Structure 1
Amino acid sequence: MIDVLRFFVNMFFSVFYRVEIKGIENVPKKGSALICANHVGELDMFFIGFRIKRLVRWMAKEELFRNPVLGGLIKWLGAFPVKRGKADVRAIKTAFNLLDEGHIVGIFAEGTRTRGKAGVAKVNPGAAMFAVKKQVPVIPVGVEGRYKLFSKVRVVFGEPYYIEADKNKKYMNEEFTEISRDIMKKVYGLLEGR
């Protein structure tokens, strides 16, 4: 059933948007990984994921799951809820378990939509925590464009890399936040110099 839905999503985005995708070969065919992207708008997870052959398990704000139709759809597509503004232990455990099982987990480190502008939102520590504690590669992904029908959207996948850090060290939130900021610098760097 997922393949059928993927076919229709592919068709929709191919017909109604001019999507330019670069570097998709940087997404590993198997094994755990963390996709970390900027957050332009509501359709980011679809623009990033619709050409990836694997299911990306997106961490999404819990408010989206309150709508029975949208919540059911994104849950079916692999998303799981997170309570924003505090450490959501349940969501953290879910992400850890998914990475342990070999999935790709997707996260927007800024935690809110920024319309593609760097530095307008604070960066959260979660992305760095997952990458360090689970020693999984980070795939930075930059997204830009307007999401009006027939407009151009650009998605750039960077090369996966590991955070050089000690997974057994007890890091402070500020340290994880600084590492997450570095990840986001790589994300926005992908969108420079078209």
Structure 2
Amino acid sequence: MLYTFAKYLVWFIFKFLYRIKIHGKENIPKQGPVIICSNHISNFDPPVVGITSPRVIHFMAKEELFEKKVLGFLLPRINAFPVKRGMRDRNALRQGLELLENGGTLGLFPEGTRSKDGHLQKGLAGAGFFAMRSNATVIPCAIIGDYERFKPLHVVYGKPIEFKSLEADNPRAQDVTDEIMANIQILLEENKK
């Protein structure tokens, strides 16, 4: 209930402020497990992906945010769950896999932190782990723009990633993440504004 209310409220505010344009929304499957992997340029990225996706998304968020009074109350109610950064967090990994096993949508920012210069950074192995351990469709996403008020912000969803080139090589989670990041980079380059 709160998720739906928050989604419409944030959509109304952000659509007005940032002139959000959505591209490729039809690439997101309507059913079944999905992982949406996006670049990370702002603290506003999670709500922007959340309001532009037709699916209800569950995001991992750094554990420290849940220790703040207001965010600690709000985040679980808008489908975020905590992850310990800098270590292998088994609880977060298990929670993410259970979500996907139940046909849910997991939102990830594989870079792990915001890019300071706007350029795509190397992704962490976690995204590849989820892709390898689940039967989820992986959708790359590119957020393009500077979050300048009244200037267009573009959210581009790419086609599902096919990992055929990696199948024969017995890939590691990092190899899969690298392929995901390459797909995000292609979206960024093809849709520069």
TM-score > 0.5 by shorter chain: yes
Q: Counterpart of 1:145?
A: 145
Q: Counterpart of 2:92?
A: 91
1:42 aligns with 2:43: yes
**Bigger shift: residues 4-13 or 55-64:** 4-13
Query: Is the contact between residue 33 and residue 135 of structure 2 (CA under 8 Å) also seen in structure 1?
Result: no
Deviation at 1:137, TM superposition (A): 1.1
TM-score by length of 2: 0.88
Instruction: Report how many residues are paired.
Output: 186
CA 1:71–1:152 in structure 2 vs 1: closer, same or farther (change >3 Å)?
A: farther
User: How is 1:30-179 mapped onto 2 (pairs within 5 angstroms)?
Assistant: 30-115=31-116, 116-119=118-121, 122-164=122-164, 175-179=172-176
Counterpart of 1:106 in structure 2: which amino acid? Answer: G
Distance 1:126 1:144 in 2: 23
The alignment-based identity, stated in percent, is: 37
| CA displacement 1:158-189 (0-9 Å, x = unmatched) | 011343467xx7x6xxx211220111110121
Distance 2:16 2:150 in 1: 8
Counterpart secondary structure, 1:191: helix
Distance 1:57 1:102 in 2: 12
Query: Is the contact between residue 55 and residue 77 of structure 1 (CA under 8 Å) also seen in structure 2?
Result: no
Q: Counterpart of 1:180?
A: 177
Distance 2:11 2:25 in 1: 15
TM-score by length of 1: 0.88
Query: Is the contact between residue 97 and residue 134 of structure 2 (CA under 8 Å) also seen in structure 1?
Result: yes
Counterpart of 1:113 in structure 2: which amino acid? Answer: R
| Structure 1: unaligned runs, 5 residues or longer | none
CA 1:100–1:188 in structure 2 vs 1: closer, same or farther (change >3 Å)?
A: same
Counterpart of 1:98 in structure 2: which amino acid? Answer: L
Counterpart secondary structure, 1:149: coil
Counterpart of 1:146 in structure 2: which amino acid? Answer: D
Query: Is the contact between residue 140 and residue 158 of structure 2 (CA under 8 Å) also seen in structure 1?
Result: yes
Counterpart secondary structure, 1:20: strand
Counterpart of 1:135 in structure 2: which amino acid? Answer: N
Query: Is the contact between residue 25 and residue 54 of structure 2 (CA under 8 Å) also seen in structure 1?
Result: no
Bigger helix fraction = 2
CA 1:133–1:187 in structure 2 vs 1: closer, same or farther (change >3 Å)?
A: same
Counterpart secondary structure, 2:22: strand
**Bigger shift: residues 127-136 or 87-96:** 127-136
| Structure 2: unaligned runs, 5 residues or longer | none
Counterpart of 2:120 in structure 1: which amino acid? Answer: A
